[in-house]
Every structure is written in structure tokens, then in C-alpha cells.
Chains A and B, each alone.
Chain A
Amino acid sequence: MTALLAAALAGFAALSLEILGVRWLAPWFGTTSLVWTNQIGVVLAAMAAGAALGGRLARSGRPPLPTAAVLLGGAGLLLALALALLGPFCAWLLPPDLRLEEAAGIAVGGSLAGALLFFAPPVLLLAMVAPLLVEARSAARGAGRAAGEVSAAGTAGSLLGVFGSTYLALPVLGIRPTLALVAAALVLAGALLASAGRRCRRAAPALLPLLPLLAPDPAANANLPALPGLESEVREVRETPYQRLRVVEFRDPAAPGPVERWLQMNEGLDSYQSRWLPDSPWPGGYYDLFALAPCYALDGAAADRPVRFWSIGHACGAALGPVAAVLGGRDWRAVGVELDPAAVELGRKWLPATAAAAARTEVVIGDGRVALRGAPPDLDFLLVDAYAAQFEIPGHLATLEFFREARAHLRPGGVLALNLGTAARRAGRGRTVRGILGGLVEAFPAGGVRLHEVPFARNVVVFARRERPLAPLDALAATLPGGLPRELAGAVLPGQVREGPALDPGRPFLDDRSDLALALAREWLGGDS
């Protein structure tokens, strides 16, 4: 039984490290598919090497249980060392004021190095334990039965590690405390296993892994953005099952109150998931261009009917301000769909919409595409601003099939508006945007598709209208009400707009065939695809 418990603990620790390891790296390197690939690949390689080495060690003549004890304790101490050194390593690697488009290549190399340095060694030792435990049990149980039992126990421990990481470690304990406890448990288990039923006099080293918790969390201010003349401060951090969120507040040292707040995900950098200004409904950037959605959608529509729209990727509801400003006194109702409830909670606390906008908006927690199936068939417009990681568009929200589903929920003349971040050198001309444009052009054959470059930003916002053409730019310009930010003027001038053949649409992404993830990786790692 001792051996099986040791196997379970080793499995639990290895999978906890695999899952939590990426989240631990997230404040510096993000959680893109590239980072996950590094982590999973390194852990698997370490497991393979560890199993091979453990097998040799098992046949070497060393007593298996005491040797396994040393390996467990050693893994715990290596994990404790990682807890102390990971933060300084990441801080050494990353320069201050790094921009999102500069970060991708550094994140890939940095996360790979971090996984090799800090996660691979303890996982290697943990993977060496199982063959020793099989050797220990084989004499009494037979090799096959011993191998099956140890494997089952290890897998059970791994399952506990996977589910425990998501449902307990992240929301309740936190990453560093969890890993410190795991390290302490490994050291303690090693001591107990080594004592083999005698009174254990060497349990004190189990406290060593807890020491790094005495230091402040180095991840709290990782990649903290800076704005000229303003001080920045992290107001709250939340680890959710989906991502790491933090609220950053910017203050003028000479004035009371915040100047603005950002909700950032994972590595943050100079990017934000939501932006809030206390005295203005205009968050800036691509959010302001969402104000064009009602302008396009209500062109030619009856003026007295209530306006209904959905927003996928609702987060803190930053898109509501510009839309409400354009709708003015007109009656409207909105549904905001957000996958992560923590983003909604942080939004209500730190980046609140106006009371009037909040009263007209119902927030639904869930996947955007799944939720959309419950949408009415006659929406005036649909806003889509969804990102799985800093720059990764969820694959299922970028396909031809999704655009057709979205179209089916729009009334004739209704509009779909998408925000697309892009790192492509020729803004908005990489494979990602071209593929999405290809899907939109095919899904909205009888209407119009138009791309607006967002002034002073990496983003483009694309509008597609069902069954009716989009208003010509000069007619659109004539309908813009007063009081809109001047950047909206820039966004509707011909040089910032593409439509028709100038869109240069590419092959659409499909649900069962898509190179979107590869295209994004190539674009953000430094070249157009």
C-alpha cells in the first residue's frame, strides 16, 4: 500500500506540475497554444526519460523503496528551488515595456527554457519512481500485476492532479501555495518512505518548500504596463479556470482618482481585454469602432422599433458605451455572452458600465457559439470580440460555419461586427484576417463586407451585413452624430477602409479543417503568413 500511495503521489505531482506549470508561466509568457505545446512536450519527454532511467535503476541492485524515497524527496526539493528561482529567471529574460507584437518569439523561447529548467527535472525524478515501485512489489505480486497496480495508482493520482488543479488549486489555493504544498508533500513522503515504518526523524525538510511563500509573489507585477506621466498599480488579480486576470489602475500623481483602468489577461504587456475611463463612454481603440455597428444596421430600418443586439466576448461590457452613445435615447436591449464569470465580476467591481447600460444588458455565462444558438432570429447586430489567449482567436468563432450561424440570427439588414487583432506587418493582410474575410464574404453573399483599420492600433474591425449593402462611406459619415471621438472620422476615411476586391479574401477556415492556429503563430512570431 505504501508503494501505491507513493505512485499516486508521484502521478499527482507530475500532472499538477504540468497543468499548473503553464498557468505559473502565464504572467510572463501567456498561455498560447505554443506555450502549452512546449510544456506538454517537455513534461512528456521528461516522463519518458525518467521511466527509462527508473527501469535501469530498478535493475541496478539498489533497494527500490529507499531509492524511490530519495527520488520523491529530491523532486520536492527541486520543485521548491523552482518556486524560488522561476520569478527571477523570467524577470531576467523579459525587458520592461515589452509590446505584444515583440513578445511572441520571446515567449516561445522563454517558456521552453522555463519548462526545461524548472519542470523537467522534478518530473524526471518523479517518473523514475514507478519502475522502482514495480520492482519492489514484483517479488510478492508478480511483475505484470505489480506493473498494473502501480500504473493504476499513478494514473489515479494524475487524475486527481488534473481535476484538483482546475477546481481547487486555481480558484481556492492559488498556484504557488499549491505547488509549495505538493513539494512539501513529496519531501515528507520521501522521508516517510525512507523511514520504512520506523519513527521518521527527518520530516523537518518538508518545510523547506514552503519558504518561498514568504516572499511576495513575483508574478503580481510581471509585465506591468506603463503610460506616460501616469503611475500604474495592480488592484486585483484573479486566477480562473480559463486565465489569469488582473485589474491595472493608472493614476495621475497630481490628481485624485483613477485616470483609467484596464482588465488584462495572462501576460498583459501593452494589451488589454477591457478598458474603462471614469468620465467617458468611449474606451478608445477598436471599442469605439463598434459604434459603427448600429450606424450600419439601422440604415434604412424603422426608427421606432427597439434595438436588440448580442455581444460575444462581453467581458466588462466595454463595447456597450460606444454603442449606447450612438443609439442615444432609443430603446435597446443587449445580451452579453462571456465564458469567464470572473471577467464579469471584475468588470462590475472595477470597470463598471453605466447603470443605464447595465439595466438594459443581460449577461450570459458560457461559450459564445453555444449560447448563440439560443439567440433570437432577428437581431439588429452582433458584436464578436473573443480571444482565447492574448492574440489567439478561438478557432470555432472564426469559421465559415460560425459566420453562417451568426448570419441566421440577424434580421435582413442586420450586421455582424468582428474585432481582429493583427501583428501582420501590413496591417490586416496576413493569412488570419484574409481567411476570416473569406469566410465572411462567403457567408454574406448578398450583403456587404467592409474592413476598417483602427487608427493607431494593431486591430481591424470587420462589418458584414445580411442581404443589404453597407451604406457608402460618405453616406455613413453624414449620419454620424456629434460628439463621437475624432478617431472615428479617421476610421471611415477611404484610406482606412477596404471592401470588394481590395479585401483580398483568402480560403475560409472550416470547423473540420483550419490552419488558423499556425497562421496566428507565424504572424505573431515575426512574419506574415
Chain B
Amino acid sequence: MAGRRLVSAAVRAVAVASLLMFAADRLGAQDPWAVPVDAAGCLARHAELRAAPEDENNLAARFLLHFACGALAEARSDVAALRRLAPEGPLGWRFGLRLDALDPSRHRRTRAEAERFLRRFADDPTVSPAERQAVAGLRDWLAAELEHAEAVAAAGRRARAAPFAALALLLGLVLLLLARTRADEG
């Protein structure tokens, strides 16, 4: 379970980081973080963006708004629509990141795939400084998440094994007491 969440979270994080930079780039002079601070403002902006033509800028702004508000279903729809409109788009797709194709319980493979992606990314001369900055934070986050997932998996293994070890010790005590009583009886 921890691995599955990690993989989906990693995919989300890569998508979010790349889409935020993509959105910032496409929105040009606009402040990509200018999402209204209150619910009423966000809902008004949502209505305004829904009424406008659905182009890359519009979808990027919608994604930023929906993600900031936690409307993740809407944000996922925005991503899907952006992928259809801009297949050459953000760096996750450009590099063919396949984290979502991995076995979620195999942390070593997840780590290996993530390292492969990050190496290709680091070697690509077309990556902008802003994208590098976004992914630098992502690398640290991913490393921490992998470490946490591995710690949780190890704890799970300990928690499954510990009762059997404890039962063995307890049975040992019982057998020892039984042997003593038999010796006394004998």
C-alpha cells in the first residue's frame, strides 16, 4: 500500500511540478500563483475560465486554480485535456517517465526508474533553469518519500514477524515450565 501511494504521489508530483512551470511559462507576464485567496473568488474565477475558450493558457490557468483549491478531480481533467492539446508538453511526458508502469511494491525499481529519469533530465540541454529548480525540490522530496516508504515496509515486515518470534519465546517458557513439572512428578 505504501508503495502504491508512493508511485501515484511521485507521478502527481512530477506532473504538478512540470505543469506549474509549463503554466508559468505559457501565462507569460501573469503571475501563475495568482489564485484568489478565498472560496468565492476561486469559484468566480472557475466560472470565468470555464466560459472561456479551452486553449493551453486556459487549461494551464484552470489546472493551477483547481490544484490550489484541492479540486483534484477537476485538476486531473485539466491535465488530460492539456495532454490532448499539447502532446509535446511538460517534461514528464517529454522524458517518457514511466513510474506509473512499475510494480508499486518494488522500491528498488522505483528508485532506479526515478534516478534514470533525473539523469536524463539533468543531461538535457533544453531544460530551462526554472524547470531545473522545480525538479531539484522534487528530487529531494522523492528521496524522502522513498526512504519513508522503505521504512514503513520494513516496519510492516517487523510487525508481521514479531508475533511469531514472541510466540516462540512464550512457548519456550511454557515448555520449560512443563519440563520442570514433569521432572518433579518423575
Contacts and interface: CB of A to CB of B under 8 A. Distances in A.
Interface of A: 46, 49, 53, 56-57, 59-62, 92-98, 101-102, 105-110, 112-113, 116-117, 120-121, 124, 128, 425, 454-456, 477, 480-496, 526
Interface of B: 1-2, 4, 35-43, 46, 66, 68-74, 76-77, 148, 151-152, 154-156, 158-160, 162-163, 165-167, 169-170, 173-174, 177-178, 180-182, 184-185
A102 B70 contact: no
A96 B155 CA distance: 10
Contacts of A46: 170
A488 B41 CA distance: 11
Contacts of A60: 181, 184-185
A275 to B, nearest CB: 17
A248 to B, nearest CB: 20
21 contacts: A56-B185, A57-B180, A93-B155, A93-B159, A98-B152, A102-B152, A106-B159, A116-B163, A116-B170, A117-B170, A120-B166, A121-B170, A455-B71, A483-B38, A484-B40, A485-B38, A486-B42, A490-B42, A490-B71, A492-B39, A495-B73
A423 B115 CA distance: 30
Contacts of A92: 158
Nearest to A110: B159
A137 to B, nearest CB: 20
A487 B181 contact: no
B74 A495 contact: yes
B167 to A, nearest CB: 6
The prevalent SS among residues of A at the interface is helix
A94 B185 contact: no
A490 B69 contact: yes
Nearest to B37: A486
Given A482-B38, A486-B35, A493 B181 contact: no
A480 B71 contact: no
Contacts of A57: 177, 180-181, 184
Given A57-B181, A455-B70, 4 more contacts: A93-B158, A480-B39, A489-B43, A496-B70
B173 A124 contact: yes
Contact of B70 (A61, A480, A490, A526): A490
A493 B177 contact: no
Nearest to A526: B1
B166 A455 contact: no
Contact of A455 (B1, B35, B72, B159): B72
A495 B68 CA distance: 14
A120 B154 contact: no
B43 A95 contact: no
Give the residue among A59, A101, A105 with the most B Cβ atoms within 10 A: A105
Contacts of A105: 156, 159
Given A53-B174, A116-B170, A482 B185 contact: no
A46 B171 CA distance: 10
A95 B159 contact: no
A41 to B, nearest CB: 11
A486 B160 CA distance: 42
A278 B159 CA distance: 39
Contact of A484 (B38, B160, B165): B38
Contacts of A494: 74
Nearest to A89: B162
Contact of A113 (B38, B69, B152, B163): B163
B162 A109 contact: yes
A59 to B, nearest CB: 7
Nearest to B159: A109
A28 to B, nearest CB: 11
Contacts of B69: 455, 486-487, 489-490, 493
A434 to B, nearest CB: 19
A165 B160 CA distance: 30
A366 B182 CA distance: 55
Contacts of A485: 38-39
B160 to A, nearest CB: 5
Nearest to A483: B38
Contacts of A102: 1-2, 152
Given A110-B159, A113-B159, A113-B163, A53 B70 contact: no
Nearest to A481: B40
B46 A489 contact: yes
B184 A493 contact: no
Nearest to A105: B156
B163 A109 contact: yes
B178 A53 contact: yes
Contact of B166 (A95, A106, A117, A454): A117
Contacts of B182: 56
Contacts of B36: 486
Contacts of A425: 1, 4
Nearest to A112: B163
A61 B166 contact: no
A486 B39 contact: yes
Which 7 pairs between the two chains have the least Cβ-Cβ distance?
A455-B70, A495-B73, A109-B159, A490-B69, A113-B162, A60-B184, A116-B166
